[in-house]
Amino acid sequence: MAGSEHVSEYANGNSVHQEAGQTEQPRRLRRNAWRALVQDFSPIWFTWCMNSGALAQLIHQCPYRFNGIDILANIFFVINLVLYVTFTCIFVFRLIWFKWDAYHEIVSSMAELTFTPCWCIAFMTLTSNVTLIVSTAWWGGYPFSMVAYVMFWFIQSWNALSLFWAFITLIRRHDASDRRTPTSIIIPAVSVSTVAITGAVVAAYAKDLSARLAVPVMIVSFNWVGVGILMGLILYVYLFHSLLAQGWPAPDQTATLFILVGPMGQSAAALQILGAAATTYDRFGDYNSGTFITAEAARGLDAACMLIALMFNGLGIIWLFFATWAMVERAYHKELRWTPAWNAMIFPNATLTTSFLTFSIQMDSPAYRVITVTMIIILVIIYLVNLGFTLTRIWQGQLLIVREDWRVKKELEEQHKER
């Protein structure tokens, strides 16, 4: 401000501001726990909902069964539901409490901005869980199929708005030409593909859902598969060039390479389930309209979906290999350490596992069944490892509830340098 003076000083951990002869309230370097939780809450925490929901879905459909496996799936579903409600309340309260300051912090950080669609993706996992676990339960049935159906139409509209907002904001506010773009920039494309597989799950597995309701969901899901694949391929070129030019991401971000598996795994699984919905669940035959939505067209559609899904699945495996190699290389050089970025290892690989699972059913393949179960076990182990580290860091005050305000600390350090 012209003609004003800005003076700051250290005083009992406080930052005191004087401007135009007026003294503001001191900003404390240390905050109470509630303020620290809300003010710093990041959309990345919704990855816990995504991971829990994806594991609930995989365990519920696991090809090899044992007593209690459905209870285990229900536990992950409940964790997903409780965490989603809790995190949504905190995130919304952050926007209400800190208003534009919170919004500007999100849009000013490329990482924060690109993780914001995780809020939508987490809701999609709940939609799939309601379809697969609740509507098929003895106490669920058709009413919960309708709940899932309404949830799908809500989330596909919300995700479309989130997609446009995220990329328009990136274009307007960020310049990626002179620095490394985070791998998380592909998450909006993952969210689009997740809409497609969510619609496929609702259309195929929602109990007693009529073809008149299911087919529109399928058509929209095919649209979203195309958007997700094309956006994913475009971003793959950019991110792969970044890998060639600059090498692996920093050690604390290496695990984010697994995000690249997401668009291919989601799109492959979406096409497989959509093809099955058209034929095995006879949605097209029951609808029977025009020349495309018929039982005859459904057989060719199913074969085409399987063929394209095999191609996408193969590219997903390639990205899985690259990401695993990078992690092993970091471990070999003793550079590997746990960070919250390890949560990126579960959901993308769970999408690829869903594709393996669907192949095991459609091909009646023992090999795909073994791969599916092996992947589920590995993902559950990673989930538990992440849980252990996360709870330890929260207990130590290094994560989620960090009492020291980094904003005030940064401001004080800058002012100290100016003296």
Q: What is the pLDDT of the chain when averaged over all its residues? A: 89
**43-96 tens-digit pLDDT:** 999 999 999 999 999 999 999 998 999 999 999 999 999 999 999 999 999 999
d(CA 228, CA 234): 10
Element housing 10 (H / E): strand 10-11
- Decide: residue 46, CB within 10 A, 0-12 exposed, 13-18 middle, 19+ buried: buried
3-state secondary structure of 334: coil
What are the residue boundaries of the structural domains of the chain, listed by start?
Answer: 31-403
d(CA 154, CA 8): 48
Handedness of CA 260, 192, 348, 120 (dihedral sign): positive
| Alpha helices, DSSP H, located in 206-345 | 211-246, 262-279, 283-287, 295-332
**301-311 tens-digit pLDDT:** 999 999 999 99
- The answer, yes or no, to whether residue 411 has pLDDT greater than 90, is no
- The answer, yes or no, to whether residue 320 has pLDDT greater than 90, is yes
Task: Annotate 305-321 with b (16+ C-beta within 10 A) or e (fewer).
Answer: bbebbeebbebbbebbe
- Report the pLDDT value the prediction gives residue 43, as an integer from 0 to 100: 93
**82-129 tens-digit pLDDT:** 999 999 999 999 999 999 999 999 998 888 899 999 999 999 999 999
d(CA 239, CA 362): 33
- Report the pLDDT value the prediction gives residue 309, as an integer from 0 to 100: 96
- Report the pLDDT value the prediction gives residue 157, as an integer from 0 to 100: 94
**184-205 tens-digit pLDDT:** 888 988 899 999 999 999 999 9
Q: What DSSP designation does 255 have?
A: G
CATH tag, 31-403: 1.50.10.150
* Angle in degrees, CA 317, 320, 326, rounded to 5: 145
With contact defined as beta carbons under 8 Å apart, do 379 and 348 qualify? Answer: no
Element housing 380 (H / E): helix 366-395
Helices 346-362 and 262-279 sit at what angle, rounded to 10 degrees? 30
Q: What DSSP designation does 11 have?
A: E
- The answer, yes or no, to whether residue 7 has pLDDT greater than 80, is no
- Report the pLDDT value the prediction gives residue 213, as an integer from 0 to 100: 95
**362-408 tens-digit pLDDT:** 999 999 999 999 999 999 999 999 999 999 999 998 999 998 888 88
Average pLDDT over residues 223-248: 90
With contact defined as beta carbons under 8 Å apart, do 52 and 79 qualify? Answer: yes
**247-265 tens-digit pLDDT:** 999 999 999 999 999 999 9
